[in-house]
Structure 1
Amino acid sequence: MTKLSVNINKLATLRNSRGGNQPNLITAAQDIEAFGAQGITIHPRPDERHIRYKDAHDLKKVVTTELNIEGNPIPKFIDLVLEVKPTQVTLVPDAEDAITSNAGWDTHKNKDFLADVIKTFKQHGIRTSIFVDPEVTMVKGAADTGTDHIELYTESYAKMFAAGEAEKGIQPYVDAAKIAHELGLGINAGHDLNLENIRFFKERIPHLLEVSIGHALICESIYLGLENVVSMYLHRLK
């Protein structure tokens, strides 16, 4: 079964919009795990507009499945990850003012930089993953950095699926996943996956270990309830 890691950034955004501690991020993470999710993902940004750096420390104390911290490996982020020591760190090349992640790494241009960062994290026992576009050349470049996993950036698939071109949209991901597996890389995926498109993706991507889903899952939960939605994703990922 492909693991479900729930990104709780949007819950933090809601909390921060009014101050205080509602919804309580710690309680939410514990509930999500109790509902069956196999991981919690957070993506702290330098301005802490949703996940705060303190949240990472607090969640480390209570998450019993896997804690995945995503972000651009600027010095402040690297220090946070080394302090918290999550199960996994996912490196994402987003600008400081980015609304959301919008591209994978150029793993050839950034090879030396990524290799140095990954070496540091792995020396501390932290599994590493690189956010990449579904391009065979970028997957091969990722393997040269020493990373453990890649995370396939799935926005283009989601758009093609919504446009009724699912078969065309999925093919680059199938090719990328096959190469990644041959190179010994674990395969994760995330961005714009939802209840409508997740089953098709899961059924066609070989060796898919984990998906990270946040925005869509939280939006769907407004109508269907968080416990129901987590269960619905788990069913589709079997």
Structure 2
Amino acid sequence: MPVLVVNVDHVATLRQQRFGIEPEPITAAHMAELAGARGIIMHLREDRRHIQDRDVELVSQCLNTRFHFEMAATEEMKEIALRINPYMICLVPEKREELTTEGGLAVAGREDVLREYLAPFHAAGIKSSLFIEADEKQIDASHACGAEYIELHTGHFADAKTPEKMQLERDKIIKGVAYAKRLGLKVNLGHGLNYTNVYEFANVPGISEYSIGHSIVSRAVLVGMDRAVREMKDIISTFAE
């Protein structure tokens, strides 16, 4: 059965609006864990716009579930990740001017560099994932890098303005899931998924995890973190394995 992994970055976004001490993403992470999330995601961006270094240090010490650390493929982030020892790292692209991650990592053509970059994580027993588009060239390249997982970018699907465009993007993702599974990769989905559009993947086999953050945090503002996580977990619990 696929599982829910909750991203708490936007709890930190709200905190950083006033550079204060609340709301606390560590508390949100614990509440999500108690509500049934199988993992917690934090993305420590190079510009530190939301999650801060102390957040990843603390959460790595006190979670009972899996900690997924999203990061750019830089030497600074490698050093931090190896120190905090998360369950998994996920390499994502970053641009300073973007509001949120806008697309997948360009892996094709960088296989040798990324394979070398990932080697210390594999030696330390840390699993690796690459956040990519549902494109066969990028999937092939991710497999060549030695990553155990890929996370397919669902943002274009989520942002689609017409049913036709949504169907087109959904079909690309479903095709990408099947192709990756044939290569032996484990597949996660993430970016822009919410309580409505996630149903589009209900009957798609081969998805390991759904990585969802903004939608859950947005609902939590109105109904509380516990209920928001449980409602999404209950939806995903009905999906195909």
Normalised TM-score (structure 1): 0.94
Alignment partner, residue 50 of structure 1: 50
Q: Structure 1 residue 202: deviation in Å?
A: 3.5
Counting aligned pairs with the same residue, the percent is 29
In structure 2, distance between residues paired with 1:49 and 1:153: 21
CA contact (8 A) 2:103 2:155 kept: no
Alignment partner, residue 200 of structure 2: 200
In structure 1, distance between residues paired with 2:231 and 2:76: 36
Moved over 4 A (4+): none
Alignment partner, residue 209 of structure 2: 210
Q: Structure 2 matches for 1:135-214, cutoff 5 A?
A: 135-160=135-160, 163-165=162-164, 166-204=166-204, 206-214=205-213
Q: Structure 1 residue 216: deviation in Å?
A: 1.6
Deviation string 1:147-173 (CA, Å, 9 cap, x unpaired) is 00000000111123x522343331111
Partner amino acid for 2:169?
Answer: G
In the alignment, does 2:234 pair up with 1:235? yes
SS at match of 2:187: strand
CA contact (8 A) 1:94 1:103 kept: no
Alignment partner, residue 108 of structure 1: 108
In structure 2, distance between residues paired with 1:84 and 1:41: 14
Q: Structure 1 residue 230: deviation in Å?
A: 0.9
SS at match of 1:232: helix
Alignment partner, residue 20 of structure 1: 20
In structure 2, distance between residues paired with 1:97 and 1:63: 32
Q: Structure 2 matches for 1:1-150, cutoff 5 A?
A: 1-150=1-150
**Larger deviation, residues 132-141 vs 94-103:** 94-103
Alignment partner, residue 221 of structure 1: 220
Deviation string 1:91-138 (CA, Å, 9 cap, x unpaired) is 012124432111212222221121111112111110000011011121
Measured on the aligned residues, the alpha-carbon RMSD in Å equals 1.4
Partner amino acid for 1:121?
Answer: F
Give the unaligned 5+ runs of structure 2.
Answer: none
Q: Structure 1 residue 236: deviation in Å?
A: 1.3
**Larger deviation, residues 26-35 vs 127-136:** 26-35
Q: Structure 1 residue 217: deviation in Å?
A: 1.4
Give the unaligned 5+ runs of structure 1.
Answer: none
**Larger deviation, residues 193-202 vs 94-103:** 94-103
CA contact (8 A) 2:103 2:133 kept: yes
